[in-house]
Structure 1
Amino acid sequence: MSSDKRVVVISGGSRGLGQALVQDRLDAGDIVATFSRSSNSFIEQLREADPNGERFHWEAIEGTDFDGVRGFAMTVLRRYKRIDALINNAGVGIEGLLTMTSERDIHQALTLNLESVIVLTRACLKAMIAERRGSIVNISSVNALRGHKGLAVYSATKAALLGFTRSLASEVGPQGVTVNAIAPGFFESDMVGHLTDAQRARIIRRTPMRAMCTTQDIVDSVRFLLSTRAITGQTLAVDGGFTC
């Protein structure tokens, strides 16, 4: 393995935004390690193209399995000797009035969207601090910045990520590690697949750029934050101006 290749950990990299982030980092020449609940054709194609795992590593891990998440980070460190960047992408959407939301769903959202992020970050951060360099990008949501009916629990988990981002950035900045967050607006993904044409039209009318963002918009923004050491502790809203 070439020592000049950056090692990037991405949670939830099998589909949607995670898949796009994995592909972008591989195209950039990075080594990518990711995990997801299960495999799919995208993951299998990458594994077949790199059977020895020189530039791509995947494991089947449920994000709520904290021992599995910690073990994954240790495997990556043993295999590639360092971790240069972390993109906390895995998460679960939860929608419904708070009084109608089950405690089971609340617990799942808190565990996967927040606790798992903290566990994985803690595991990866030790390697970054040892090298005195690193980049962390947390994928939050526009719902952390603006309230919407039926998204109280989801918004709470994503807003918590912003506080986590700011405080951790202050904590690890002296060790050369940047920590930032992306707050995507409504963009084409599984999480908006249930919207009706009327709902989509209403969102677009409320967006200054008169269009939903694309997955590529989010990927480009993450790429930018990974490329600079001058920005830390910030939340970048990629929403076409929805939160103006």
Structure 2
Amino acid sequence: MSGPQEETAHAAVVSGPTEETAPTAVAGEQETTAVAGEQGAAPAAVADERETAPAAVADERESAPAAVAGERETARTAVISGGSRGLGRLLVERLLADGWQVATFSRSANDFVKDTVAERPDHFIWESVDLVDRKALRTFVNSVARRFGGIDLLVNNAAVLNRQELFLTTSSRQVDTLLASNLAAPIALAQACARVMSGSGGGQIINVSSINAVRGYRGVAVYSATKAGLDGFSRSLARELGPLNIRVNSLVPGFFDSDMTTEVTEQNRERIARRTPLGRLADVEEIANAVLFLASPQSSFITGQTLVVDGGITC
């Protein structure tokens, strides 16, 4: 499917001079599922509210390779979606420097990917995968698990936002693209990785969301819906996967420089900085620091939470 770029970092994108114009936090690539039925209806209560993890179901999905005790390499393994540029690339670089084995994907390989594959062939995997191809995503995860012996961390970083546009003029195709990329794709990746993690003692899932899920802005209604859905998914999944020692959290970055924000005018940047209590935009290193904190032993008792890193703009 041709369409939006994959590894767009979740940066707030603001266009237009008006006060209501959204600082659109854009993440890398993700995917969406449209939910039919009563929107506000709560799912049926589970007996005794125990978060009993459902048994793994063998169906048309490729079954996750079981992690065998003693066969895992000592290095931890991370899967980063949209890891060829922006926040995803920085996470790849920092995790590799910290001794992790890292796997990522995008539609095409840039110079960073080619150089890293050549320099770190034993610790780095890259494959060409389209974010909206859920079968390809599952195949990718299973190949990583077989190669590295398991998966310890998933960062759902990739997402798309083609452009800001008013809801009344948004096409059905654009709605489908945003849902497929920003909600269904991270859900598919989380499911595939959780199946691997459940057989190897646990792991961590970090979903990169957006300040648009916290505060409303014009021009990004559907994008905001996908990110709010990702936050809700994170909380419910944390309940379900906690007994399997899998932590799930959501990170909400504010405005920071990325490929998606290169066309934001200096005037709009200054306006965003004035509206931010700390008086400036974030550095991508600060967003990466928050992701890596959630992935670290220092956050070992944190799950089901939404960590907002925005300099106070949503407070």
TM range (shorter): over 0.9
- The count of corresponding residues between Structure 1 and Structure 2 is 242
Post-superposition CA distance 1:132-189 (Å, at most 9, x none): 2201100000111001010101101111000000000000011111000110001011
Cα distance, 1:2 vs. partner? 7.5
Cα distance, 1:3 vs. partner? 2.4
Cα distance, 1:17 vs. partner? 0.9
Higher helix share: 1
Separation in 1, partners of 2:263, 2:143 = 37
RMSD, aligned α-carbons: 1.2
1:116 and 2:176 are equivalent in the alignment: no
1:236 and 2:307 are equivalent in the alignment: yes
The one-letter code of the counterpart of 1:36 is: S
Separation in 2, partners of 1:110, 1:29 = 34
Post-superposition CA distance 1:201-244 (Å, at most 9, x none): 11101000001011101110011000122100011111011111
1:84 and 2:152 are equivalent in the alignment: yes
Structure 1 unaligned residues grouped into runs of 5+: none
1:2/1:171 Cα in 2 relative to 1: closer, same or farther (>3 Å)?
closer
Separation in 2, partners of 1:39, 1:219 = 22
Cα distance, 1:101 vs. partner? 1.2
Of the candidates 285, 288, 292, which is equivalent to residue 219 of structure 1? Answer: 288
Of the candidates 260, 269, 272, which is equivalent to residue 200 of structure 1? Answer: 269
Cα distance, 1:81 vs. partner? 1.2
Higher relative contact order (CA 8 A, sep 6+): 2
Cα distance, 1:194 vs. partner? 1.9
Consecutive aligned runs of 4 or more in structure 1 exceeding 3 Å deviation: none
Structure 1 length as normaliser, TM-score?
0.97
Cα distance, 1:191 vs. partner? 2.0
Aligned to 2:103: 33
Separation in 1, partners of 2:212, 2:119 = 38
Deviating more after overlay: 5-14 vs 128-137: 128-137
**2:203·2:247 contact (CA, 8 Å) conserved in 1?**
yes
Aligned to 1:72: 140
The one-letter code of the counterpart of 1:88 is: N
Deviating more after overlay: 186-195 vs 80-89: 186-195
Separation in 2, partners of 1:18, 1:203 = 24
Q: 1:10-29 counterparts in 2 under 5 A?
A: 10-29=80-99
Structure 2 unaligned residues grouped into runs of 5+: 1-70
Separation in 2, partners of 1:101, 1:231 = 38
The one-letter code of the counterpart of 1:12 is: G
Q: Percent identity?
A: 47
Q: 1:98-113 counterparts in 2 under 5 A?
A: 98-113=167-182
Separation in 1, partners of 2:161, 2:256 = 14
Considering only CA atoms, is the larger Rg found in Structure 1 or Structure 2?
Answer: 2
State the secondary structure of the residue aligned to 1:172.
helix
Post-superposition CA distance 1:57-90 (Å, at most 9, x none): 0001110011110100010011111001100011
Separation in 1, partners of 2:179, 2:72 = 38
**2:159·2:181 contact (CA, 8 Å) conserved in 1?**
yes
Separation in 1, partners of 2:235, 2:201 = 19
Aligned to 1:163: 232
State the secondary structure of the residue aligned to 1:58.
strand
Of the candidates 246, 255, 258, which is equivalent to residue 189 of structure 1? Answer: 258
Separation in 1, partners of 2:284, 2:253 = 9
Deviating more after overlay: 1-10 vs 145-154: 1-10
Cα distance, 1:103 vs. partner? 1.2
Structure 2 length as normaliser, TM-score?
0.75
Separation in 2, partners of 1:153, 1:97 = 10
1:128/1:2 Cα in 2 relative to 1: closer, same or farther (>3 Å)?
closer
Cα distance, 1:4 vs. partner? 2.0
**2:207·2:251 contact (CA, 8 Å) conserved in 1?**
yes
Separation in 1, partners of 2:303, 2:86 = 26
